[in-house]
Structure 1
């Protein structure tokens, strides 16, 4: 049941990305181009997502636990640290250069566009490198405290 619901959630999310135009990097780049051919339509997509998330969270928090888990798994770190700022800057830079963020990049893969075929491997390499750097950072900080 868990796999089926996960698949269904991913399918709805992916379809939403494709229908909204978020899988089209040209549309995303036009949204970011305020001085050129600015396309404000993605602001409506983001606004719709915020309203949906707002309502969804209000409904979910009324429950004592998620449907398929015994408890909510919430992050405990609420600090704004170097890793968060660097990650956000890298994400924003990649989104601005490539016109993709991770979800839409995967939904655009079946189109086999050259930009997608370059962006996805670069994104995966960046994720892999980021994991290695973070683990080295953790090892270095543990060594410094001992």
Structure 2
């Protein structure tokens, strides 16, 4: 119960931060990517804030015996760049640039502009399902 509550509070806080930062507005994201046009630096400040928080977290985590809401830390163990990782990152970036949304802001936008965000979320879920189908067929 405590873990579920922490997850809900974290998700609401994350969504509220995205909404307050304007990241649920696809035009703002596209404005950031339009470096030769009417460039909007807002996303750079949101990313910078995230980098600062994570830099602090990465310094604190090694000093903790265990996480507050889990039995152990689940930190990344791989550092290699695979074609699958690079292809996925490129596909993510292309989709982000076209739609102006990525998964977090897309879900948060369901509260603000449900009709437009629902199209994105349905397309995102369909894409995830297609990937799972291909992964299942190749195994």
Tell me which residue corresponds to 1:17: 18
Distance (whole Å) between structure 2 residues aligned to residue 114 and residue 70 of structure 1: 40
TM-aligned CA distance change 1:49 to 1:75, over 3 Å: closer
Report the CA distance between 1:114 and its aligned residue. Answer: 4.5
The answer on whether the counterparts of 1:31 and 1:40 sit within 8 Å (CA) in structure 2 is yes
Distance (whole Å) between structure 2 residues aligned to residue 8 and residue 118 of structure 1: 26
Distance (whole Å) between structure 2 residues aligned to residue 38 and residue 112 of structure 1: 24
Tell me which residue corresponds to 2:28: 27
Tell me which residue corresponds to 1:38: 39
Which range moves more in the overlay, 62-71 or 108-117? Answer: 108-117
- Do structure 1's residue 47 and structure 2's residue 36 form an aligned pair? no
Deviation string for 1:33-68 (max 9, x for gaps)? Answer: 112111112111111110011112212221122112
Tell me which residue corresponds to 1:67: 68
Report the CA distance between 1:84 and its aligned residue. Answer: 0.2
Aligned residue pairs, count: 138
Relative to the length of structure 2, the TM-score reads 0.92
Report the CA distance between 1:76 and its aligned residue. Answer: 3.0
Relative to the length of structure 1, the TM-score reads 0.87
The CA RMSD over aligned residues, in Å, is 1.4
Report the CA distance between 1:119 and its aligned residue. Answer: 1.2
In structure 1, the gaps of 5 or more residues are 140-146
Larger Rg: 1
Tell me which residue corresponds to 2:84: 83
In structure 2, the gaps of 5 or more residues are none
Tell me which residue corresponds to 1:116: 117
Which range moves more in the overlay, 23-32 or 70-79? Answer: 70-79
